[in-house]
Amino acid sequence: MKNEFYKGLKELRLHYLADHYQDFIALRQETPAEKIIQDLIRLELIEKSQRTLSRRLSEARIGRYKMMSEFDWNWPKALDRVKLKEILETDFITTQKNLILLGPKGLGKTMITKNLVLSAVHAGHQARFVTASSLVAELLASGHRLETRLRYYTRLDLLVIDELGYLSFQTKAADLLFEVISRRYEKAPIILTTNLPFKEWPTIFPGAACVAALIDRLIHHCETLVIEGDSYRCLESMKKKR
């Protein structure tokens, strides 16, 4: 009987009551029915919000990350700190602009983007963090599900493409990446990190005809932040050796 009761509450999506039934009842034995219903509604809404947030965080695929409180603002030799802080402190998605972080490895580009994804998720948006190589590999392997995956990456409120420029891609891969960027153009923002200036992007997609159009759509409504300096990871490695 108890299992049927539990299953019934779960089917009704009363997850809080299903998981805390005994405690909920024990604390409200002398409580008027109206107050019990009010408490139940409030607690179920909190439970639903937490479950939704947990699901969005899982779908975002952020993985391991460091909070921006650990970012060494004095380490980069060149960085528009005012602009970056402004981006971090606002709901970036509402600006409807793309963001490109340009600079060599080890200066915190990935750290910054993961924190932007985290902020977007907590603000109620559906976001996804993915490396350029993983995105391209997934789309190339999609087969008959390609259109489904393209629609998924199109409808996200925020898409972060990390580490473009570290590997070169075949023409088919360039076409698929262009398709994602083209479908999101003027609809939803993309944040992209790269170690190469735009003039060197043809080396990422040798022989691809869509590179100029890809860049054009990315930078039409876009903030570009250039970060210069030495790798912070190398500094940390040197400190550990010492």
128 and 47 within one domain: no
The bridge status of strand 98-102 relative to strand 158-164 is unpaired
159 and 81 within one domain: yes
87 and 50 within one domain: no
Q: How many domains does the chain have?
A: 2
115 and 50 within one domain: no
User: CATH number for the domain including 99?
Assistant: 3.40.50.300
User: What residues contact 183, with CB distance under 8 A and at least 6 apart?
Assistant: 150, 153, 154
| Residue 188: domain span | 68-241
131 and 42 within one domain: no
pLDDT tens for the chain, 242 residues: list them. 457 666 766 766 777 767 776 776 666 676 776 777 777 778 778 878 888 888 999 999 999 888 998 888 888 888 999 999 999 888 888 888 999 999 998 889 999 999 999 999 999 999 999 999 999 999 999 999 999 999 999 999 999 999 999 888 989 999 999 999 999 999 999 999 999 999 999 999 888 889 999 999 999 999 999 999 888 766 666 666 65
52 and 121 within one domain: no
